[in-house]
Amino acid sequence: MNSSLSVYNSLKGEKEVFKSLVSDHVGMYVCGPTVYSKVHLGNCRTFISFDLIYRYLNHLGYKVRYVRNITDAGHLENDADEGEDRIAKKARLESIEPMEVVQRYTVDFRNIMAKFNALPPSIEPTATGHIVEQIELIKEIIAKGYAYEINGSVYFDVLKFNKDIPYGKLSGRNIEELIHNTRTLEGQSDKKNPQDFALWKKAEPVHIMRWPSPWSDGFPGWHLECTAMSRKYLGDQFDIHGGGMDLKFPHHECEIAQAESINKIPPVKYWLHANMLTLNGKKMAKSTGNNILPEEMFSGSNTVFKKAFSPMVVRFFMLQAHYRSIVDISETALEASEKGFNRLLEALQTLKNLTPSNSTTEFDFKSWVARCYEAMNDDFNSPLLIAHLFDAVKFINAVANQKQAIDANDLHDLKNHFDAFFYDVLGLNSSDRETTKDDSQLEGTLELLLQIRNKARASKDFETSDLIRNTLSNLNIQINDAPEGSSFKIN
C-alpha cells in the first residue's frame, strides 16, 4: 500500500500524511444532492472531485466503502430551521407527490453523473429510508443531555455542548462570535438559543412530508441524516468526509457536534472540501441568470456558449484545476480544454500503434511514472498529473515521427501507465470522440441535403424540395427558410 499520500485536512488547515483507520480499507462519506431540481453544474464539480479521489484510492489498492447520500426530506429553504421543505414545495408547485419529485431528480442526477463517467458510490442511502435510525439518534443525543424537546420539536443545545466540547472547530468560528452575529428571528422562539439547530421538527398541518415519532408527527432536521447514515455504514469513526466548501458551516459543523455529543470522539479523521465553480467570472445563480445546466452544455441549447461541449471535455476542464481551488468556466477555457483533451486522445491512438525499437529508450520512464504518482499523492493534484501526461505526449509523438526511440519493455509499461492514469484515475474515456465524429458526419449530410433542396427550389422543383423538408420533419429535423438562407434544427 502506498503510504506517501498526503491530503489537505480542513479540520487541521494543513496537509497530513494519509493513514486509514483500518489497514488497506477506507471509509468515505460525501454529502450528496438534495433532489428537488436538476443537478447544478457546481454540484457536479464536487462529485467529480470526489470521484477522482475515490478512483485514486482504489488505484492505490485500498478497499473503499464510498457512501454518498440522497437528501429527499428535511432540507428546508435557505438551509434554515424554518420554512418549507424544498421537495415538498416543488411537489406543491407542480401538483405532484413529493416522491415523484424525488424520483424525477434522482434519475436526472444519476444520468448526469453517468455521462460524466463518475463511478456510483458503494452505498447511496436516502434520508426517508433512514427515519428510524434518525429517531434513534435523537433519543441518544437527548439521553446524553445535549438536546431538548419543546412543542413537539427537538433542538440540539449548542451552548451546553460547547461547555463540554468546543463547537466550531471545523469552520474556525467560536461560540462568542456566533452569539454576537446571530439575530433572534421570528419563528425561532421555541429555541433556547438562536444558535441551536433542529433535530426534529413538528410538522404543520399543511406539511405533507411527515413521520410519527415520540415527540410529534414531523420530519428530521437536515443535518441529522448524514450523522445517522455515516454511523450506520461506516461506524462511529471513519476516514474521510467530503462535500462542497459551502457545507463547512453549518452542516458539517453540526454533524461533528451530533456525533461527538454521543461518543465524545471525533467522527472523522480527514475532512476534505471541494471549492466552487464560477461562470464567466461570477458566482453561478439561477436568480441572476448566470447559470447553466450540464445537459444544456452537452446539447448546446443555451445562451451562454456558442457551441456544445461534451461531458468528457467538461470533466477534463474541471480536472485541470485542483479540487480545492475556485475554477471559472468560460468559452475560451472550455475550447482550450477541448483541444487538450483531443491531443490526449490522439496520443492514446498513436501509442496503440507504436512499434518498439532495439535502441535504448530516450525517455526517463521511471522518473516520469514517479512524478505522476507524486502529483496525485500531493492531495490529488490532477492538474499536475495532466501536465505530466502532456510531457509523455511529446515523447509519444517524437517516437511516432522516428525522432526518438523506445524499447519493448518501456513501451508496454508506458501503455499500461498512460491508460491507467487517463481511464482509471482521471476517469476520462474516448467515447466522446466517436460521438463528435458522428455529429460532424450528420451535420455534413444535412448541409448537403440543404444544398440539393436549395437548387430544387431555385429551379422550381417543389416536389423534390417538399420531399426533403417533409422527410426531415418526420425525423424531428426542422428546416427554417429565411432571406439570408436556409438552416436546420434538430429537435
Using the Cα atoms of residue 325, residue 27, residue 141 and residue 186 in order, give the sign of their dihedral: positive
> Is the preceding omega at residue 250 within 30 degrees of 0, hence cis?
yes
The closest of 244, 250, 242 to 270, measured between CA atoms, is 242
Per-residue exposure over 427-442, b if at least 16 CB sit within 10 Å of its own CB, e if not: bbeeebbeebeeeeee
**Domain-wise residue ranges, the chain:** 6-274, 278-425, 431-490
The closest of 230, 204, 177 to 65, measured between CA atoms, is 230
Q: Give the mean pLDDT of 318-333.
A: 97
Which of 24-38, 65-79, 125-139, 426-440 bottoms out in mean pLDDT, i.e. has the lowest?
426-440
Q: Which residue has the higher pLDDT, 188 or 211?
A: 211
Give tens-digit pLDDT for 112-144: 999 999 999 999 999 999 999 999 999 999 999
Q: Give the mean pLDDT of 315-332.
A: 97
Q: Which of 125-139, 162-176, 425-439, 459-473 has the highest mean pLDDT?
A: 125-139
Whether 88 and 99 have beta carbons less than 8 Å apart is answered as no
Which of 85-94, 253-262, 458-467, 471-480 bottoms out in mean pLDDT, i.e. has the lowest?
471-480
Give tens-digit pLDDT for 375-415: 999 999 999 999 999 999 999 999 999 999 999 999 999 99
Instruction: State the cell numbers at 370.
Output: 514517479
**What is the pLDDT confidence band of residue 190, given thresholds at 50, 70 and 90?**
confident
- The pLDDT of residue 240 is 98
- Enumerate residues 6+ apart whose C-beta is below 8 A from 269: 21, 237, 238, 239, 240
Percentage above 90 pLDDT, the chain: 77
Whether 124 and 32 have beta carbons less than 8 Å apart is answered as yes
Q: Give the mean pLDDT of 38-58.
A: 96
Instruction: State the cell numbers at 316.
Output: 477534463
**What is the pLDDT confidence band of residue 469, given thresholds at 50, 70 and 90?**
confident
Count CA atoms closer than 13 A to 374's CA, side-chain side: 8
**What is the pLDDT confidence band of residue 482, given thresholds at 50, 70 and 90?**
low
- The pLDDT of residue 349 is 95
Sequence letter at residue 352? K
Whether 203 and 83 have beta carbons less than 8 Å apart is answered as no
**Mean residue pLDDT across the chain:** 92
Using the predicted structure, report yes or no on whether residue 184 has a pLDDT greater than 70.
no
**What is the pLDDT confidence band of residue 436, given thresholds at 50, 70 and 90?**
very low
- The pLDDT of residue 382 is 98
Q: Which residue has the higher pLDDT, 159 or 82?
A: 159
- In three state form, how does the secondary structure of the chain look? CCCCCEEEECCCCEEEECCCCECCEEEEEECCCECCCCCCHHHHHHHHHHHHHHHHHHHCCCEEEEEECEECCCCEHHHCCCCCEHHHHHHHHHCCCHHHHHHHHHHHHHHHHHHCCCCCCCECCECHHHHHHHHHHHHHHHHCCCEEEECCEEEECHHHHHHHCCCCCCCCCCHHHHHHHCCCCCCCCCCCCCCCEEEEEECCCCCCCCECCCCCCEEECHHHHHHHHHHHHHCCCEEEEEEEHHHHHHHHHHHHHHHHHHHCCCCEEEEEEECCEEECCEECECCCCECCCHHHHHHCCCCCCCCCCCHHHHHHHHHCCCCCCCEEECHHHHHHHHHHHHHHHHHHHHHHHCCCCCCCCCCCHHHHHHHHHHHHHECCCHHHHHHHHHHHHHHHHHHHCCCCCCCHHHHHHHHHHHHHHHHHHCCCCCHHHHHHHHHHHHHHHHHHHHHHHHHHHHCCCHHHHHHHHHHHHHCCEEEEEECCEEEEEEC
- The pLDDT of residue 215 is 98
- The pLDDT of residue 180 is 58
Using the predicted structure, report yes or no on whether residue 183 has a pLDDT greater than 60.
no
- The CATH architecture annotation of domain 278-425 reads Orthogonal Bundle (1.10)
Using the predicted structure, report yes or no on whether residue 371 has a pLDDT greater than 90.
yes
- The pLDDT of residue 1 is 47
Whether 109 and 72 have beta carbons less than 8 Å apart is answered as no
Using the predicted structure, report yes or no on whether residue 242 has a pLDDT greater than 60.
yes
- Inter-axis angle of helices 253-263 and 222-234, to 10 degrees? 50
Q: Give the mean pLDDT of 484-490.
A: 69
Which of 118-122, 235-239, 352-356 bottoms out in mean pLDDT, i.e. has the lowest?
352-356
Angstrom CA distances, 90 to 84, 95, 208, 465, stand at 10, 8, 12, 47
Q: Which residue has the higher pLDDT, 79 or 1?
A: 79
**What is the pLDDT confidence band of residue 186, given thresholds at 50, 70 and 90?**
very low
Q: Give the mean pLDDT of 341-365.
A: 92
Q: How many CB atoms lie within 10 A of CB 383?
A: 14
pTM of the model: 0.86
Sequence letter at residue 363? F
- Alpha-carbon distance of 156 to 254, in angstroms, equals 9
Q: Give the mean pLDDT of 272-276.
A: 97
Q: Give the mean pLDDT of 195-223.
A: 95
**What is the pLDDT confidence band of residue 166, given thresholds at 50, 70 and 90?**
very high
- Alpha-carbon distance of 473 to 438, in angstroms, equals 20
Give tens-digit pLDDT for 69-124: 999 998 988 788 888 899 999 999 999 999 999 999 999 999 999 999 999 999 99
- The CATH architecture annotation of domain 6-274 reads 3-Layer(aba) Sandwich (3.40)
